[in-house]
Amino acid sequence: MSPAALVSSDAATTVMVVVCLLLIPLAIAGIALINTGLGRSRSASHSMLASLCAVSVAAAAYFVCGFAIQGFAGGPAHVITAAGKQWNWIAAQPFFLRGLPLDGSPTCLVLWLELFSVALAALIPLGAGLDRWRLGAATASTALLAGLVYPLFAHWVWGGGWLAQIGYRDAAGGGPVQAVGGLTALAMAWILGPRRGKYSTDGALPAAIPGHNAVLVLFACFLAWTGWLGLNGAGAMLFGGAPIGALVRVELNTTLSAALAGLAAAAITRGRFGRPDASLCANGWIGGLACSSAGCLFFTPAVAALVGMVAGALVVFTVEWLDVYGEIDDPTGSISVHGVAGIWGVLALGFFAHAGAPVQPLAQIAGVATLLGCVLPLAYGLNWLLNRVSPQRVAPEGERQGLDLHELGAGAYPEFVIHREDFLQR
């Protein structure tokens, strides 16, 4: 099996992949901005700085050991023999990319895609930990995600690992990027606990804590869209073997998925609350992007639109469900947007992709089971350990002050007058 599924390694194909890779930082910028805009102004600088540090640490950790663990299909790996078959479970590449020629081969393009993908995945838990996650702890947690958890699952999916062996397919990371990020966000929301004042003990509905800048949030949806065109395009070519011309399908599907998800969120929030909700529409749009990653290459446009529409609905309902019934405080809806919609995209690929193998649904379900049964416990366990070593949550005083003042010593908007009264009960 070749290092990656690229159907051809001629110059034009390489250029097309590189182009897509060059756009991914815009998705990273978009997610950072959405997290920040959906948080409070007193933690805005902290949120952006945490994003910058998380991207930096993720890149460094992936460079040091992540790629060694992930490897590539056909590369050196450790196997376990079970049921009479050899199961490839972890790569055995040298650390620090030693011996990997950076010459434009599919293998090193995969490295590049993964380095940027892991940086994107690292921002997803930051959204769930908003307004209470210490910068140092978030950085350490990111190192574990980018150096161990992400590469392990990505190896199984894209590195010739056992999920690839049973036929699991994922063009651009609905599972490895979106769902891994979203489930890590869930683990962090559990470990950190809800924000001060979110849930009262008298059985009232949880407080709504609106984001401090809806314009940045909605603007970031457009940026994320641009970046996702790159992300899905690169993945479809490197992991799906899409030729250049198939990018038209990939990008059309990505766009229709986001568009219909956004419209579904608008329609549902309007139906339920009488008014469309700007934050949930943004969440829906990004959920449409997240759910498009797995199947963008394999759907027809109409199916992509429908899958996106369902993702938009799922995001709206699960955000509310997690908030009200799950008592899980996820300020940006990361768990729903990336976790739920990502998993939905993985499953949809199994059921609705044209020209899929007959066992495709089973393989995709096995992938989701692995996410829930291995990745989530692993992410939870590692972060629980980290929390024992040094508490991940900021001191109550810091949360009252805002993380900007407490951890950075300066607010994000020192010249603007900010409301100091606290949020209202719903």
Contacting its own copies within 280-309 (CB under 8 A)? 281-282, 285, 301-302, 305
Least Cβ distance, residue 145 to its own copies (angstroms): 15
Kindly tell me which residue out of 2, 76, 222, 396 binds its own copies, with binding defined by CB under 8 A.
222
226 binds its own copies (CB under 8 A): yes
Query: What is the footprint of its own copies within residues 304-363 (CB under 8 A)?
Result: 305
Give least dist CB 370 to its own copies, A.
30
* Residue with smaller CB distance to its own copies, 13 or 364: 13
192-221 binders of its own copies (CB under 8 A): 210-216, 218-219, 221
Restricted to residues 94-123, the positions that interact with its own copies (CB under 8 A) are 96-97, 102-105, 108-109, 111-112, 115
Residue 131 binds to its own copies (criterion: CB under 8 A):
no
CA atoms within 13 A on the CB side of 330: 35
Q: Could you give the CA distance from residue 209 to residue 393 in angstroms, rounded to a whole number? A: 19
Which of 10, 205, 373, 395 binds its own copies (CB under 8 A)? It is: 10
206 in Cβ contact with 322 (< 8 Å): no
The single residue among 71, 127, 233, 398 that binds its own copies, judged by CB under 8 A, is 233
Residues 90 and 155: beta-carbon distance below 8 Å: yes
Least spacing, CB of residue 241 vs its own copies, in Å: 15
Q: Which of 256, 303, 314, 346 binds its own copies (CB under 8 A)?
A: 256
Q: Is 85 helix (H, G, I), strand (E, B) or coil?
A: strand
Residue 259 interacting with its own copies (CB under 8 A): yes
CB nearer to its own copies: give 229 or 268. 229
How far is the CA of 118 from the CAs of 24, 125, 129, 221, 289, in angstroms?
11, 12, 18, 20, 17
Please give the Cα distance from 350 to 346 (Å, whole number): 7
Determine the interface stretch with its own copies among 81-89, 144-152, 223-231, 318-326 (rule: CB under 8 A).
Answer: 223-231
Report the alpha-carbon distance of residue 346 to residue 174 in Å, rounded. 6
Beta bridge partners, 67, equal: none
Site string for its own copies, 27-66 (x = CB under 8 A): -xx--xx--x---xx--xxx-xx-xxx-xxx-xx--x---
Alpha-carbon radius of gyration of the chain: 20
Question: For residues 389 and 410, which CB has a smaller minimum distance to its own copies in the complex?
Answer: 410
Nearer to its own copies, 185 or 234 (CB): 234
Which listed residue (148, 252, 328, 365) binds its own copies by CB under 8 A? 252
14 binds its own copies (CB under 8 A): yes
Smallest gap from Cβ 109 to its own copies, in A, equals 7
Selected from 114, 131, 170, 251, the binder of its own copies by CB under 8 A is 251
For its own copies, the binding residue among 7, 25, 165, 361 (CB under 8 A) is 25
Minimum distance of its own copies from residue 24's CB (angstroms)? 9
Can you tell me the distance from the alpha carbon of 25 to that of 51, in angstroms, rounded to the nearest whole number? 12
> 273: which residues sit within 8 A by CB, 6+ positions away?
none
The answer to whether the CB of 143 falls within 8 A of the CB of 61 is yes
Q: What is the dihedral of CA 292, 298, 300, 306, to 10 degrees?
A: -40
Write out the DSSP string of 347-388: HHHHHH-TT--TTHHHHHHHHHHHIIIIIHHHHHHHHHHHHH
User: What CA–CA distance (Å, rounded) separates 151 from 102?
Assistant: 19
